[in-house]
Structure 1
Amino acid sequence: MAFSNNITRAMRPFQALPESLRQRAISMIFGRVVPFVGTSALLYEEISETRVIVSIKNRRKVQNHIKSVHAAAMALLAETASGFVVGVNLPDDKMPLIKTLKVDYVRRSSGDLRAVATLTQADINRIRNEPKGEVLVPVVVTDATGEQPVNCEMLWAWTSKKRK
């Protein structure tokens, strides 16, 4: 039996939709769950147990004073992709928590941005089976030129939803 949790079950009804409609529907739903994500209009392009791809368009609502994607929006993009790849693997009785969000800005971005967050099978096994723990999630953010305007490290933890 395939792994299932609240996130994967919420996505299931949209699997039969064409890709562009599925992406928009899933993005809208999760944008309502996390309002800041919805305000930024992040688009969930791909969601699997090993990889999540999230993008953001360079539009006025998320721009800085030089008309590129704002630094905080870049961090949000990386945090969202990395958190989601953890979230799709987390049992329903656990909750993800960001522990460290490190973003080094190395160059001006150009155009739209895309974040790709990945997990190894070993990471997935730990997330699904250990009662609590943490994982450093690799996430690569690229702009329209294919370059990386930021280098990111996202350390995620998981713990029980019930407080002792």
Structure 2
Amino acid sequence: MRNSSNKLMSIYNKVTKLPFGNKIFSLIISFKAPFFGTISPKITKLKPHYCECLIKKKRAVHNHIKTVHVIAICNGLEMAMGVMAEASIPKHLRWIPKGMTLDYTAKAGTDIMCIAEVKPEQWQVGDMFVPVTAYDTSGTIVVKGEIKLWISEKVKK
């Protein structure tokens, strides 16, 4: 399902046709929201209501035991959620994050894949809970939870 009427999906669909397109797209996102750049993220898959964000295990995201720091993973989960939200939200709505509830379920000793996914019918005015999950390269869940968004109508101009 392509959502080419959405500006972000349109950019994603164009840029990812280029060599290193996913990396270029991720740099564009990190330029717009600079804190995401601290984890050198890579959006590996984006479609309406779904996003994957890869965090490479490297020294810059290590904690004291040389695993991926959970706050770096939280950053990746928030990036996956934010990119998914921008690519998915109906034109008449807007969103803002209100909170994050996460469980740290295992050590993150490899690259980490952060995933945010919702159902289309979830886009309603009010609180919206976005399930987010981070996996290591063996498929083990290392962080799982939800990010709460506030969904409201756009102000009519």
Q: TM-score range by the shorter chain?
A: 0.7 to 0.9
Distance in 2, matches of 1:86 and 1:102, equals: 18
Distance in 1, matches of 2:12 and 2:58, equals: 27
C-alpha contact 1:57 1:112 (8 A) present in aligned 2: yes
Q: Secondary structure at the match of 2:141?
A: coil
1:7-156 matched pairs, under 5 angstroms: 7-18=8-19, 21-91=20-90, 94-123=93-122, 127=123, 130=124, 132-156=125-149
TM-score (norm 2): 0.86
One-letter amino acid matched to 1:146: G
Structure 2 partner of 1:6: 7
- Give 1:149 shift: 1.5
Q: Secondary structure at the match of 2:26?
A: helix
One-letter amino acid matched to 2:39: S
Provide structure 2 residue ranges, at least 5 long, that are not aligned to the other structure: none
Output one character per residue of 1:77-118: Cα deviation in whole Å (capped at 9) or x when no partner. Answer: 112112221221124564321112011112211111001211
Cα gap change, 1:3 to 1:158, in 2 (>3 Å): farther
C-alpha contact 2:3 2:48 (8 A) present in aligned 1: no
Provide structure 1 residue ranges, at least 5 long, that are not aligned to the other structure: none
TM-score (norm 1): 0.82
Cα gap change, 1:59 to 1:140, in 2 (>3 Å): same
C-alpha contact 2:111 2:136 (8 A) present in aligned 1: yes
- Give 1:147 shift: 0.8
Distance in 1, matches of 2:52 and 2:59, equals: 22
Q: CA RMSD in A?
A: 2.4
Q: Give % identity.
A: 25
